[in-house]
Amino acid sequence: MSADREDFEQALDGLRAVRLRPEVLLEEVPAPTRLAPHAVALSAEVSDDPHGEAEPLATGRFVVLHDPAAPEPWEGEWRIVTYAKALVEPEVGQDPMVGQVGWSWLTDSLDDRGVGFAAEAGAVTCVISESFGALSDRPTTVELEIRASWSPLDDRVADHLQAWGDLLCTIAGLPPLPEGVTALPGRR
């Protein structure tokens, strides 16, 4: 096995060992094949329904790319590409700072986990849906979506997954974990 494949396999083992909060269901899904020589993708849903019958509070995808050639825009061999989205309170859609707040949730999650990152990029989108006419009885909904990518400064991609899990729980409206607790027994 080549050294770069071995590095990726070690990172993959680390990702598979991650346990997020019990409200987060994380599963491996098919990864993109054209973006890098090595890739893995994970999908997540956040639900406060232990039976999994209710609509998820938030959903997202976490993709890890590894290219030993270190593409210049990445500023390294690793790249993480994510999105996270959730329905939020209607007043959030009226807040002119919603984009900056959403982006700070991402960067704060990374900082709180103590992970180094570079070349971060992304967008925060807030969509307000109002119904009219025959659909006017439907409530107004507001969906917040954070699309982001960044380059880890090392191969500790499992720590980045933990940070992204924190972001997903934040946009889902879950309360933060108690001080000093970084994870709870999760499910896969």
- In this prediction, residue 52 carries a pLDDT of 65
Of the candidate ranges 2-6, 88-92, 107-111, 121-125, the one whose mean pLDDT is the lowest: 2-6
Residue 117: is its pLDDT beyond 80?
yes
Structure token pair of residue 175: 């309360």
What average pLDDT is seen over the chain?
Answer: 89
> Residue 186: pLDDT band by 50, 70, 90 thresholds?
very low
Q: How far, in Å, CA of 61 to CA of 94, rounded?
A: 26
> Do 134 and 155 touch, CB atoms closer than 8 A?
no
Residue 184: is its pLDDT beyond 60?
no
Of the candidate ranges 16-20, 24-28, 36-40, 179-183, the one whose mean pLDDT is the lowest: 179-183
- In this prediction, residue 25 carries a pLDDT of 93
- In this prediction, residue 181 carries a pLDDT of 58
- The per-residue b/e assignment along 117-144, b for 16 or more CB within 10 angstroms, e otherwise, is beeeebebebeeeeeeeeeeeeeeebeb
- In this prediction, residue 188 carries a pLDDT of 43
Residue 1: is its pLDDT beyond 60?
no
Share of the chain above pLDDT 70, in %: 90
Q: How far, in Å, CA of 185 to CA of 31, rounded?
A: 26
pTM of the model: 0.88
Pairing verdict, β 78-88 and 58-66: antiparallel
Of the candidate ranges 36-45, 51-60, 135-144, the one whose mean pLDDT is the lowest: 51-60
